[in-house]
Structure 1
């Protein structure tokens, strides 16, 4: 009995609250086994959108349409990788959690390592896109008046603002994807349906409250007051909430 009591706990199962940097970094390396998923395909999508934008600009110029440049500011092409990154967040948990646990990592190690990977991806994308916005502005739309990165809110408040908004959005979509997957692993389809209808209920209650109380102008005024930076501050806060919620759910998730 003494031998059993004093035997070291199995790796990854010992009840410790300490952070294990080596194990966390091992999760990062596991997720980066196929770097194309995180660092390749998003840029293939963005590069494809850029090529299409350039071709459209050249066609418009060849057709003699000279006042089309302003229309590029309303292009959503710069956000084209976001939909894929939601799927990346889903796949990150669905395909690697059980593998990591099988090799002795704890759920804490896994979630911290995955969060670190998400920070890497969000930072890399934010730095690159914020820089490309400035390049596009400096070259007057790649010398042909075609704007893809300098669109929507980009290019209006400087490099750091573009970095912050992109970083917040990237982190949000990744953690939302990962968080949704943990809900499925914990409660299966019942949990997914509950989550879906809960979100729909919150949205409907919010819309109904705004319409029935006539507070639409006040809401618009408040959004105008906090500005785009404030909106993305809320997005970043939601990313943090999603990350924390996902961590608490994954502690009891049962991957199969």
Structure 2
């Protein structure tokens, strides 16, 4: 008689790649204040300062038209961008080892982080572009101030404001993230090489443009491509940082 021993069936079905990537997004979303809370607190604080200035100027009978024109160059609308560089650093430096411990691959981690950056940038771009239009519709929140309707914003319509904000946010996020991958891969030696290399490249470009008297042509070229063209370059640089960060993180060692 032949004994038949039933063996348990072990499922070998591979896990969905998107599910693995989405797990990383959910991991980042555990602390939404990092991506949404603090940047909007910074932006809200800048807006509150503008409102207080508008109230004081209006009560004092100042020329609010000149005040609003001056506010268009305050850069307050860009105040969260500097913090978003730190967000990019934290997204890699503080989360990579944790994600790897839960079984995520470096590729999935980078793709999930990039997807999170995209979600954050899209939502922020929608909000800021909409706030620009609200500010214009209410004549500066009924105080004739220019907080969001500043710099290039408010001159080319909602879609351009959305596109430029999206490009800028992706750019700063990927700068922080990709620089952090360099540190994880080569530690301080890599950071020093990167810093000195970037400084040398910038100085070389400035020197070439100066000695060849190319500055007028450069400014004319940037003026010719317009604001959309300029931020298309910014978006291209963001993509370059994203690809570079992916190539480096494949061999990065978390602390």
State the TM-score bracket (shorter-chain normalisation): over 0.9
Looking at CA atoms only, which structure, 1 or 2, has the larger radius of gyration? 2
Distance (whole Å) between structure 2 residues aligned to residue 21 and residue 68 of structure 1: 50
Superposed counterparts of 1:230-241, under 5 Å: 230-241=229-240
Query: Which residue in 1 is equivalent to 2:218?
Result: 219
Give CA deviations for 1:35-72 in whole Å, capped at 9, x if unaligned: 11111111111000000011011112222211312111
Query: Which residue in 1 is equivalent to 2:56?
Result: 59
Query: Which residue in 2 is equivalent to 1:25?
Result: 22
Matched, 1:43 2:40: yes
Query: Which residue in 2 is equivalent to 1:175?
Result: 174
Superposed counterparts of 1:126-145, under 5 Å: 126-145=125-144
For these two proteins, the number of residue pairs brought into alignment is 241
Distance (whole Å) between structure 2 residues aligned to residue 175 and residue 19 of structure 1: 26
Q: Is the 8 A contact 1:46 1:78 kept in 2?
A: yes
Give the 3-state SS of the residue equivalent to 1:116 in structure 2.
helix
Distance (whole Å) between structure 2 residues aligned to residue 81 and residue 122 of structure 1: 12
Q: Is the 8 A contact 1:19 1:109 kept in 2?
A: no
Unaligned regions of 5+ residues in structure 1, if any? 1-7, 9-15
Query: Which residue in 2 is equivalent to 1:11?
Result: none
Distance (whole Å) between structure 2 residues aligned to residue 61 and residue 20 of structure 1: 57
Superposed counterparts of 1:171-210, under 5 Å: 171-210=170-209
Q: Is the 8 A contact 1:134 1:159 kept in 2?
A: yes
Distance 1:212 1:135, change over 3 A: same
Matched, 1:34 2:26: no
Distance (whole Å) between structure 2 residues aligned to residue 85 and residue 53 of structure 1: 22
Distance (whole Å) between structure 1 residues aligned to residue 115 and residue 57 of structure 2: 43
- After superposing on structure 2, the runs of 4+ consecutive aligned residues of structure 1 that deviate more than 2 Å are none
Query: Which residue in 1 is equivalent to 2:110?
Result: 111
Distance (whole Å) between structure 2 residues aligned to residue 208 and residue 115 of structure 1: 35
Distance (whole Å) between structure 2 residues aligned to residue 132 and residue 60 of structure 1: 22
Give CA deviations for 1:234-256 in whole Å, capped at 9, x if unaligned: 00000000000000000000001
Give CA deviations for 1:136-173 in whole Å, capped at 9, x if unaligned: 00000001101100000000000000000000000000
Give the 3-state SS of the residue equivalent to 2:94 in structure 1.
helix
Distance (whole Å) between structure 2 residues aligned to residue 71 and residue 64 of structure 1: 16
Give the 3-state SS of the residue equivalent to 2:72 in structure 1.
helix
Query: Which residue in 1 is equivalent to 2:91?
Result: 92
TM-score (norm 2): 0.92
Distance 1:189 1:107, change over 3 A: same
